[in-house]
Amino acid sequence: TEIQVFGGAFSSQSGGQALAYYSKVNNRSYRLKWEDIAAKCASIMLEDKGAALPKVGSVEPQWKLENAAPTKHSHHPLSNPTSPAFGRWKMNSVEMCLISSDLILRIVKEIYPFVQTNIETDRQYCWKNIPEEIGIVWDAIADSSKELFLSSEEHIIVSNPSDWIGLGDELLSIQGLGSIKSCQSMDENGGIIMQFYGGVHPALGSGKLLAAWQRSEGRDGHVEWSENNGTQQLIIKSRRIIAKE
């Protein structure tokens, strides 16, 4: 069976979704092969494995999922102009696609058994009460989010910690990455303590906020994430100890 998918963000993602839909409808298990045959067009080949579709279990997050609390700066992200195209979706002239929290959790579940936990790295992140092998995958997610923001060359100007609440609406809420409830200064070197809610995955928001902090402070930072009763706390501070005169 061949299925052609047009306009997908990633051919592998399109292939996986096409496989899931086709398997569910027919209650059969299929082997997937895919290739790009044209711009924004993927050929999905499904081969019957001769078996019924196995039951798929749920994946529980390592943190408590809670809806974001509205702030005075909040507005609905879909209130921005959208211009649908064939198989694609644009917001403010930027191509977007919706990815569920469950999909990210399953990606992490598939990846972390292959992670080598004995590799020593100078990590920028600390994930409290998260298993080490999963934490390394979270590192990769956060780094990807951080590098994506830094590549945009967007400028960040912060005059006091409360400015981060409004920035959180712009940087996080519009893309479904959560919202910042409060922010306080913790040292004389730009270190801050944030409380924020929601988001499809903590590592995505943490990486982007770290990038924004680095852009604002002009130096590398370090993130310490923790969660307590649905409230996520983020500490962002200088990665290196700054000598006092």
Q: Note whether 109 and 210 are same-domain residues.
A: yes
Q: Note whether 157 and 201 are same-domain residues.
A: yes
pLDDT value, residue 176: 78
Residues 6+ apart with CB under 8 A from 126: 222, 223, 224, 225
pLDDT for 35-56, tens place per residue?
Answer: 888 777 888 888 888 888 888 7
Q: Note whether 176 and 212 are same-domain residues.
A: yes
pLDDT value, residue 163: 92
Question: What band does 1 get if pLDDT is binned at 50, 70 and 90?
Answer: confident
- Scored b (16 or more CB within 10 A) or e, 81-107 reads eeeeeeeeeeeeeeebeeeebebbbeb
Domain span holding position 33? 2-52
pLDDT value, residue 164: 92
Of 202, 225, 189, the C-alpha closest to 66 is 202
Helix H or strand E encompassing 52: strand 41-52
- Scored b (16 or more CB within 10 A) or e, 23-61 reads beeeeeebebebeeeeebebbbebeeeeeeeeeeeeeee
Higher pLDDT, 149 or 153: 149
Q: How far apart are CA 207 and CA 195, in angstroms?
A: 15
Question: What band does 118 get if pLDDT is binned at 50, 70 and 90?
Answer: low
CATH number at residue 208: 3.90.1520
pLDDT value, residue 83: 62
In this model, does residue 179 exceed pLDDT 90?
no
Of 181, 205, 207, 204, the C-alpha closest to 194 is 181
Q: Note whether 97 and 48 are same-domain residues.
A: no
108: left (phi over 0), alpha (psi -120 to 50) or beta: alpha
Q: Residue 245 domain-assigned? A: no
Q: Note whether 142 and 87 are same-domain residues.
A: yes
Token pair, residue 22, equals 């086709």
Question: What band does 188 get if pLDDT is binned at 50, 70 and 90?
Answer: confident
- Per-residue pLDDT, averaged over 100-114, amounts to 83
pLDDT value, residue 198: 63
pLDDT value, residue 74: 55
Q: Note whether 96 and 39 are same-domain residues.
A: no
1-15, 85-99, 149-163, 172-186: which has the minimum mean pLDDT? Answer: 85-99
Q: What percent of the chain has pLDDT over 90?
A: 23
Rounding to the nearest 10 degrees, give the CA dihedral for residues 9, 12, 17, 23: 160
Token pair, residue 219, equals 């130096």
Higher pLDDT, 163 or 39: 163
Prediction pTM value: 0.77
pLDDT for 64-94, tens place per residue?
Answer: 766 555 555 555 656 665 666 666 677 767 7
How many folded domains does the chain comprise?
2
Q: Residue 154 domain-assigned? A: yes
Question: What band does 150 get if pLDDT is binned at 50, 70 and 90?
Answer: very high
Higher pLDDT, 203 or 200: 203
What letter would DSSP give residue 170?
H
